[in-house]
């Protein structure tokens, strides 16, 4: 059972290993705060969608399972939008269009298809928690590099001191591609070294 929880964090990390959810991780990683916010919002949707889909999996005929899942996920995202707008409006404004776009995030539908529709409620919930943590971890890692190099701060606090001139490019769109490119290079490097052994 514990395996369902831990596999999403490193071994089957949704971003680094499965290469899913690239769009939001590029767009919302310009600061660590946004990245953690996005990770939590995403985990919220994933946990509930996995639980609900695992509960209704036996009642949905196979031919219409995709539209039914999309309806469930879209409703969860809409509810999330309202909750965020009510309780964390600043974060909601910062993430912008990427909150409603969790609907078409490949990870959520992917986990529903690959896991929740075949497993029980508890296993599906654990799977979602693991994947959520894995995604948030990957996102935060990229955001840490970008915010630290691009503004010399972390979570809004000055870390690198006033003598450091921020390399602006890292918080601009181009920096998102660049950072992600190098992070993936590192991930590949360690994976290939691991395989060679």
Partner 1 sequence: MGDSIFGILFGSIFVSNIILSRFLGMCSFLGVSKNFNNSLGMGAAVTFVMLLATMLSYALYHLLLVPFNLMYLKTLVFILAIATLVQLVEMFMKKTMPALHKAMGIYLPLITTNCAILGIAIINVDNNYNFAQSIANSIGTSLGYTMAILLFSCIREKLNEDQIPKCMRNLPIALITAACMSISMMGMSGIH
Partner 2 sequence: MSNFFVKLTSTLLITCAVSVAFVAGAHEGTKEIIAAKREADTKAAYKQVFPDLGDLAKEKAPGDIVTDIQKSSKGGKANGYIYTVEPQGYGGKVKIMVGFDTAKNAITGIKVLSHSETPGLGAKSTEPAWQAQFKGKSLKDALVVTKQDPTKENDVRAITAATITSRAVVTGINAARDHYMKNFANGKG
Cβ contact 130:6 at 8 Å: yes
Q: Distance between alpha carbon 32 and the CA centroid of its chain, in Å?
A: 13
Contact between 159 and partner 2 (CB under 8 A)?
Answer: no
In the block, residue with structure tokens 């909601």: 92
The answer to whether 55 and 141 have CB atoms below 8 angstroms apart is: no
DSSP letters for 110-159? HHIIIIITTS-HHHHHHHHHHHHHHHHHHHHHHHHHHHHHHHSEETTEE-
- The residue among 160 and 178 lying less far from partner 1, judged by its C-beta, is 178
Q: Write each residue from 34 to 73 as x if it is in contact with partner 1 (CB under 8 A), else as -, in one continuous string.
A: --------------------------------xx--xx--
Does 180 participate in binding partner 1 (rule CB under 8 A)? yes
Q: Is 67 in the site for partner 2 (CB under 8 A)?
A: yes
The CA-based angle 45-51-107, given to 5 degrees, is 45
Q: Which stretch binds partner 2 (CB under 8 A): 10-18, 20-28, 103-111, 164-172?
A: 164-172
At its nearest, how many Å lie between partner 2 and the CB of residue 64?
Answer: 5
Q: Binding-site residue total for partner 1 (CB under 8 A)?
A: 42
Which positions touch partner 2 (CB under 8 A)?
30, 56, 59-61, 63-64, 67-68, 71-72, 74-75, 78-79, 82-83, 85-87, 89, 93, 150-151, 166, 168, 171-172
């Amino acid at each position: 059972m514990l395996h369902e929880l831990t596999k999403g964090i490193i071994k089957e990390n949704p971003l680094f290993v499965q290469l899913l959810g690239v769009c939001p991780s590029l767009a919302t990683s310009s600061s660590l705060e946004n990245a953690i916010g996005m990770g939590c919002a995403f985990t919220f949707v994933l946990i509930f969608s996995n639980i609900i889909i695992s509960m209704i999996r036996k009642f949905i005929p196979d031919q219409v399972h995709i539209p039914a899942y999309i309806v469930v996920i879209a409703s969860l995202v809409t509810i999330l939008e309202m909750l965020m707008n009510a309780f964390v409006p600043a974060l909601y404004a910062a993430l912008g269009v990427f909150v409603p776009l969790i609907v078409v995030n490949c990870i959520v539908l992917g986990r529903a298809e690959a896991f929740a529709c075949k497993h029980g409620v508890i296993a599906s919930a654990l799977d979602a928690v693991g994947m959520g943590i894995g995604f948030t971890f990957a996102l935060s890692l990229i955001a840490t590099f970008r915010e630290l190099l691009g503004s010399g701060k972390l979570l809004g606090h000055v870390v690198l001191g006033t003598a450091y001139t921020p390399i602006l490019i890292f918080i601009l769109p181009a920096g998102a591609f660049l950072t992600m490119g190098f992070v993936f290079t590192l991930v590949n490097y360690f994976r290939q070294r691991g395989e060679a052994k």
